[in-house]
Amino acid sequence: MNINLTLLGQMITFGLLVWVTMKFVWPPIIQAMQERQKKIADGLAAAERGKHEQQLAEEKAKQVLQEAKQQAAEIIAQAQKRANEIVEASKDTARIEGERIKATAQSEIEQEVHRAREELRKQVGAIAVVGAERILKKEIDPKAHDQVIQDLVAQI
Partner 1 sequence: MAAEYANASEYIKHHLGHLTLGDKETFWAIHVDTMFFSILLGAVFLFIFIRAARRMTTGVPGGLQNFVEILVEFVDQQVKDSFHGRSKVIAPLALTLFVWIFLMNIVKLLPYDLLPYLAHMAGLEYLRINPTSDVNATLGMSIAVFFLIIFYSFYIKGVTGFSKEIFLKPFGIWFLPFNFVLKVVEEIAKPVSLALRLFGNMYAGGLIFTLIALLPWWIQWTLGLSWSLFKLLIITLQAFIFMVLTIVYLSMAHEDH
Could you tell me how many residues of this chain bind partner 1 (CB under 8 A)?
Answer: 32
Residue 135 as a binder of partner 1 (CB under 8 A): the answer is no
* Amino acid symbol at 136: L
Please state, as a whole number, how many other Cβ atoms lie within 10 Å of the Cβ of residue 129.
Answer: 18
Query: Among 6-14, 72-80, 86-94, 108-116, which window interacts with partner 1 (CB under 8 A)?
Result: 6-14
Cβ proximity to partner 1: between 36 and 91 the closer is 36
Cβ proximity to partner 1: between 30 and 64 the closer is 30
Residue 150: CB partners within 8 Å, gap ≥ 6? 125
Query: Among 5-13, 52-60, 71-79, 140-148, which window interacts with partner 1 (CB under 8 A)?
Result: 5-13
* Residue 150 near residue 126, CB atoms below 8 Å: no
Count of alpha carbons within 13 Å of 84, Cβ hemisphere only?
6
Smallest distance, partner 1 to C-beta of residue 40, A: 10
Give the per-residue contact string, 30-49, with partner 1 (x = CB under 8 A; - = no).
Answer: xxxx-xx--x----------
The footprint of partner 1 on residues 9-28 (CB under 8 A) is: 9-11, 13-18, 20-22, 24-26, 28
Residue 2 as a binder of partner 1 (CB under 8 A): the answer is yes
Does residue 138 come out as left (phi exceeding 0), alpha (psi in the -120 to 50 range) or beta?
Answer: beta
Dihedral sign, Cα of residue 39, residue 44, residue 50, residue 56: negative
Does residue 56 come out as left (phi exceeding 0), alpha (psi in the -120 to 50 range) or beta?
Answer: alpha
Smallest distance, partner 1 to C-beta of residue 52, A: 26
Q: Which residues bind partner 1 (CB under 8 A)?
A: 1-11, 13-18, 20-22, 24-26, 28-33, 35-36, 39
